[in-house]
Structures are given as C-alpha cells and as structure tokens.
Homo-oligomer: A and B are copies of this chain.
Amino acid sequence: MANPKKADLSLLKLDYNNLTSEALGENGLSEADLADLKDPLTLAIKELKTKRDQGLLPYLDLPNDESLVNSLKKLSQKGRKKYTDVLVLGIGGSALGTSALFTALKPLNYNALPDKKRLWPRLWVADNIDPEGFSALLDRLDPPTTLVNVISKSGSTAETMSQFMIAFDWLAKSLGKTALVDHLLVTTDPETGVLRKIVNDLNLKSLTVPPGVGGRFSVLSAVGLAPLALIGVDIEGLLAGAKSAVAAGFNSWSTNKAALFAGLNWSLASKKGRGILVFTPYADSLAKVADWFCQLWNESLGKAHKLDGSANTVSQTATKALGVTDQHSQLQTWMEGPADKTVLFLETLNFKSQKNIPKLFKNQEALAYLGGQSLGQLLSSELKGTSRALTENGRPNFTLTLPQVAAKEVGYLVQTLETATVLSGVLYGVDPLDQPGVELGKKFTYGLMGRPGFTEFLDRYNQGLSVKKKFIVS
C-alpha cells in the first residue's frame, strides 16, 4: 500500500477512532461522552482567547518574534565559521525541547558526521550533573572552537549554575578571561537574577527568556531557537508551523486537534480511569519529543489543588516509550496489565532515508516474506498491528500522524501539544503554568549544600533522619 502523498495531508492528523465505544465497546468513549465534551471544550477555548488577550499566555506569541529570528540567523552565520561545537548547559525546560527538536530535525548520527557532511557545528545538551557524564562531555570539546550556551531563567538553578562555573573555569583556563567572552552565550531573564547580573558585570552576550514563558513552554523562544539556529535548523519553518497551530487552537472544538487531545484524555482519565498516557513515537527521530511532552503534561497537570482551592483528584501521568523497541518490553502490560493506560502513537509517513530488506534466505518461510520490503514498511506494520491488537483487547489508543518529520510539521506538533496542555488545565481546573511542588526539594538541597539562608531546611532534614534508622537491609 503506497504512502499518501505529502500534499494530501495537513501538518498533523489526529485519528481517535480507537478511543471510542464503536471500536472498544464499554471501554471506549460513547457518543454521549463525546457530546459531553462540547460545552467544556468550547468554554476552555474561549478562556484561551480571553487569557491570550489579557497577555497571560505569551507562549502563543513566540512564533511572531521576527526580530529574534533575524538576530539568530546572523548569530548562526557567524557561529558557523567560528565554532565546531555548541554546548548547551540547561536542565528541564531549558534542555528537553532543544534535545527533542535537535533529534527530530538533524540526522540521527549528526554529531558523528564528518565536517563535510555536517556543515554546521555539533550540538551537545548537558542536562545532568553526573560527574562522569559531564567530565566525559567536556573531554570531547575544545574551548577555542566551542560556544557554551548557558540557559537558566532564574539564574540560580543549582545544577545549571554548577555546570556554568565549571565551564567558565574551563574556558578561562584555556582562553583567558577576555577571550572567553566570545565563547559564552547566556539565555536568562531580561532583568532579574544573578545570571543577568553576571552578564552585565562581564559584558557577556545574552538572550532573553521572555517574561511569562515557563521553561516547559519555552522551546520556541531563544531558549530552544538559539542552539537550533546555531546548528542550521530551519527555525523559520518551525515558527511557521507553530503559527498555524496557534490559529488552529482557536477552532471550534470538534475540528480542533489541541482541544480534542485535551478533551479525550480528560474524559478517559475522569470517566474511564485511564490515569496513564503512554506517549509512543514510532520513529527514532521523534523519540525525544516524548521526554519533552512528559515534562509539559506532568508538570502542568500534576497538581494537588484546583484554582478554587479544592483538592484535585484526577489527572493523568504521561510516560514515554519508543516504537518498535518498547513493543518488545511494554506491550504485555499495555495489553493485559492494569486497565489504566491510554497509548498515544506518534508516527511519520515518510522517513528521510529508507532501508530495503534484501531478498535472502528465500527457502526459509519465516524470513522470505521480509525480503523486498523496507524497514519503514515493517515499522508501519508493527504500529498498525499493535494498535489493532490493543483495540481488540479493549485498550484505548490513538494516533498522531506527521506527513514527514520536518521543521514546519514539528513546529505545528509542539505548539499543538502546548495548547492541548493549557486547555487541559482549564478542564481539570488547575493552573497549567505553575509548579508549586518542586520548591520544597530545592530548599532541602540548598540546606544540604550549605546555601546561606537555608539552615532551617538542613536542620529539618537532619531531624527527619534522626527518627528513622530501622528499615534498612544491607
């Protein structure tokens, strides 16, 4: 069966047949369940518009920042001549989007390609502080041809700032304190925070995390666009796709992919006990979109309280998988495990390269049928077979299809999922833009690391330790 032509398809297709009772019987959403979505989704879309008009959703305006695009294009043309490597120091929302789009839009072995085939600098995203991992990474890089892009909105993220201090020292020892200025690019709040202060004191090059745009919604700001531009990603294509998605996010509920994504999952979580959303790309290039999405969904919706102060008792935890690999590790539990999962397949219809299976072992019935087909056909058949098996077993699953993994399509996808997340916040009645639950752990960490002002948390930590010693087996 031939793949559809790219021109026949929009930038993104949503097929949710296998979430409905027509496909799943009592495990699926009935016509009434679907009709029940109309009012809350219509209200949520209206609220999206109101909040945007009030300036409360600046992530929706990121695709319109033409002056940023122009300055990043200049930066990337200069950087291309000057740097062999770009090293991003960031964590969470400062890293996940960049990694996702890097993996999607450059060849999978990009960093290993010879210069002639690569044409742009390599990109490394340091999103952990493991000493072995960070040492191994720095060992591969050469300060005179490396640009370090440190990204922290607050400027005080302990992990990123530790990396920054190490990298600063590494650059300074090799290049001297004057020359290192050409090897540092700081992306942080335009006005506040210690990193902005350092930018001003040392006259460093800097970019801005736009006010009101949280880390997990920042991939299409300078946070993601700068490193992506520096390696030659088509950032205009990304933003063009995103712009289409912004507009589509205000469509009427039944033709609005972001709204349906939000509403269907909300309905499955609240009416069908589907508390786990398994985000499963069937393409190596899309693998890290799953990581990015898991932060977006979980940090936005995993809230103890609703906006009205009452307890929030329903939400959905997103987990990641990768097809076809994880079919061989997770399918058993998707098929037969607790009936708490919805599987989301993310597929592409066209790969950047193909690989044909040669016609070998023609006498072996168990192999011969493979010969003459392609790996892409097999991957696609695996997805279809898995989806059909889940459906026959009453397990809800749905599919997002990209005609190809290219800038415009990926820009459309991320912006659609961001709006789906904000609309979900309205449906659950929680604030999708805050993350109050992450502060306490940071305070204990500061206390343990001896940061001034956090002694009480060190004391509280030690107090907790003193009462528990019993339940340890060595």
Query: Which of B134, B284, B337, B357 makes the CB contact (< 8 A) with A302?
Result: B337
Q: Contacts A14-B472, A299-B329, A351-B130; is A136 near B156 (CB within 8 Å)? A: no
B194 near A130 with CB under 8 A, answer no
Q: Let me know if A332 is at the binding interface, CB within 8 A.
A: yes
For residue A78, which residues in chain B have a CB less than 8 angstroms away from its CB? Answer: none
For residue A444, which residues in chain B have a CB less than 8 angstroms away from its CB? Answer: 381, 384-386, 388-389
Q: Let me know if A358 is at the binding interface, CB within 8 A.
A: yes
In the assembly, how many copies of this chain are there? 2
How far, in angstroms, from A314 to B444 measured CA to CA in the complex?
35
Q: Let me know if A469 is at the binding interface, CB within 8 A.
A: yes
B469 near A437 with CB under 8 A, answer no
B393 near A440 with CB under 8 A, answer yes
Q: Using a CB-CB cutoff of 8 Å, which residues 355-407 of chain A contact chain B?
A: 355-358, 360-361, 364-367, 369-371, 373-379, 381-382, 384-386, 388-393
The stretch from A57-65, A217-225, A449-457 touching chain B is: A449-457
A294 near B330 with CB under 8 A, answer yes
For residue A158, which residues in chain B have a CB less than 8 angstroms away from its CB? Answer: 370, 378, 382
For residue A435, which residues in chain B have a CB less than 8 angstroms away from its CB? Answer: 332
* Chain B: minimal CB distance from A370 (Å): 5
Query: Which of B322, B330, B378 makes the CB contact (< 8 A) with A298?
Result: B330
For residue A53, which residues in chain B have a CB less than 8 angstroms away from its CB? Answer: none
A381 near B467 with CB under 8 A, answer no
Main secondary structure on A side of the interface with B: helix
Instruction: Give how many A residues have a beta carbon under 8 Å from the other chain's beta carbons.
Output: 155
Q: Quick one: CB contact mask for A442-474 with B, threshold 8 Å, 1 for yes?
A: 111111111111000000110010011111111
Q: Contacts A162-B357, A298-B330; is A108 near B93 (CB within 8 Å)? A: no
Q: Let me know if A119 is at the binding interface, CB within 8 A.
A: no
Q: Quick one: CB contact mask for A315-359 with B, threshold 8 Å, 1 for yes?
A: 101010010110111111111111011000000000111111110
* Chain B: minimal CB distance from A458 (Å): 10
How far, in angstroms, from A304 to B381 measured CA to CA in the complex?
25
Most buried by B among A18, A134, A284, A356: A284
8 contacts across the A-B interface (CB closer than 8 A): A14-B472, A91-B325, A108-B136, A161-B367, A162-B375, A327-B438, A335-B438, A369-B451
